[in-house]
Structure 1
């Protein structure tokens, strides 16, 4: 394969071909007319044929020059597109997270953008709890589940701890909400399509309720928490995710019992990936935020 011509010489050819004048090309390139002439002559010598016909009042492309021009234009257009697309990809961190984590994650990402506007983050939400980095183009992900295997670099955020929560107004009654058995008189709100979260907590509380199957189910934790904050009923939620609501007084815990399920939240990336300094900073920052609860 013949050695490729120098890129600066090709760019000089592109500008000169558009101007068909050494002087105007030199003005656009911010070099001397002699430098333009020497670069073109060197390129022609490298290729083995002339690209321009030198005329008294300017230049004219040769047949070879006319064939070269669209190819060089295309090459530099591809380079320009690559710079723009790759630059955007590297500047914006691509993060995936399950919808159940949004109540905790979104306020923190908003804070991150206020503190670090130079490191934007694009968040993709999903009902899925995991991530497949071989098929999904994300820099990192927040996942929910058991501790990840060794194919991922994982930083622990927090463990799931289930507890009932409700609006402060619901505590005033009637009906009463002083002991766990009082839940029998309230509408139970479920953050998923099944009753599993409530069953786990009730088992730990050594309590059976007949109204667990007649509660209201929601698509996401966020929907259940929003309904609970309006006094609709008592929701079962992850204490780790709803700390902001508890601190702000939008929700309260009527009972002290929090039940660990063995599940947790982790921020992960591929084990073999060498993270950028900005990605490492974001992951460390999220862990710090999680530990401030």
Structure 2
């Protein structure tokens, strides 16, 4: 079968219009006229024999064919751009796609990511935050940083640090809390992991009260709610130390529930790239530095030969 010739400009116009769902915004991004974008997309549709967009009174919507085509076009344009940049720079540039649970991203990774450039200036890390639910293969990730016990099917896991959970709340709420029993009269904010508060109360030597209040699929959103005074969150205090230090959050009790830790994971079926190994080595070193700070969780003495 002879495949139709697909013009690069048409593919670029389609990808930009699909991202913005607007010919006008795509034209601004690509520095052409709105009419040019419309014509390029129309030409692409004619070559494919399929409509890619539904024209609506206020914008665009992708057809099923457009939805199917978009990921492949976006990935191909990204890869082409990367290749051209490597050729232009005269040296190889490696990309590492990293999925990361939001608490670790804001509490550990982002404050330190700038130091990676000194170790590996040719390495580009692309971060994709999640709520701990991630599919490495389906999402095209080289690795993922997760919270748990290190047991994920067909996945290699290396421990980064413990992340014991502790109640966190706003200063106004903390003034009502002198002992763990006082939590029984407070709104306890919950994550989608239903057993966390039960295990913390067991650690504190108390029976778990009836739970009320909202359930969050993101610890970041849950802690934001706690900071606003909407209740008490159960989260890893080590990942929110900056907020605690500036007084936005309070850790009212020293009781912590060791329910898991943070792990660097990648598929056993996919050999790690040199870029991933560089990122891995840097990450373990940063976790060791973090663990050396007073009151921080201990980090492992990892032998890099175990890869």
**TM-score with structure 1 length normalisation?**
0.59
Task: Summarize deviations over 1:63-96 as a string: whole Å, max 9, x none.
Answer: xxxxxxxxxxxxxxxxx99764446695332111
What are the residue-to-residue correspondences of 1:251-290 with 2, within 5 Å?
A: 251-261=249-259, 263-271=260-268, 272-276=270-274, 278-290=275-287
**Using a 3 Å threshold, how does the CA distance of structure 1 residues 281 and 105 change in structure 2: closer, same or farther?**
same
What are the residue-to-residue correspondences of 1:1-293 with 2, within 5 Å?
A: 84-86=81-83, 91-108=94-111, 110-112=113-115, 118-133=122-137, 135-148=138-151, 151-172=154-175, 176-190=176-190, 192-193=191-192, 195-210=194-209, 212-261=210-259, 263-271=260-268, 272-276=270-274, 278-291=275-288, 292=290, 293=296
Q: Distance in 1 between matches of 2:158 and 2:79?
A: 33
Task: Summarize deviations over 1:128-148 as a string: whole Å, max 9, x none.
Answer: 434433x44222211222224
CA contact (8 A) 1:157 1:265 kept: yes
3-state DSSP of counterpart to 1:170? helix
**Using a 3 Å threshold, how does the CA distance of structure 1 residues 231 and 101 change in structure 2: closer, same or farther?**
same
In structure 2, the residue matched to 1:4 is: none
Gapped regions of structure 2 (runs ≥ 5):
1-76, 87-92, 291-295, 297-307
Q: Distance in 2 between matches of 1:243 and 1:288?
A: 19
RMSD: 3.2
In structure 2, the residue matched to 1:36 is: none
3-state DSSP of counterpart to 1:214? coil
**TM-score with structure 2 length normalisation?**
0.57
In structure 2, the residue matched to 1:14 is: none
Q: Distance in 2 between matches of 1:228 and 1:125?
A: 21
Deviation at 1:231, TM superposition (A): 2.6
Q: Distance in 2 between matches of 1:234 and 1:221?
A: 12
CA contact (8 A) 1:166 1:231 kept: yes
CA contact (8 A) 1:96 1:124 kept: yes
CA contact (8 A) 1:159 1:240 kept: no
3-state DSSP of counterpart to 1:122? strand
3-state DSSP of counterpart to 1:233? coil
CA contact (8 A) 1:168 1:249 kept: yes
3-state DSSP of counterpart to 2:110? helix
Q: Distance in 2 between matches of 1:229 and 1:204?
A: 24
CA contact (8 A) 2:187 2:232 kept: yes
Gapped regions of structure 1 (runs ≥ 5):
1-79
**Using a 3 Å threshold, how does the CA distance of structure 1 residues 101 and 218 change in structure 2: closer, same or farther?**
same
Q: Distance in 2 between matches of 1:132 and 1:258?
A: 31
CA contact (8 A) 2:116 2:282 kept: no
3-state DSSP of counterpart to 1:92? strand
Deviates more, 1:200-209 or 1:86-95: 86-95
The structure having more radius of gyration, on CA atoms, is 1
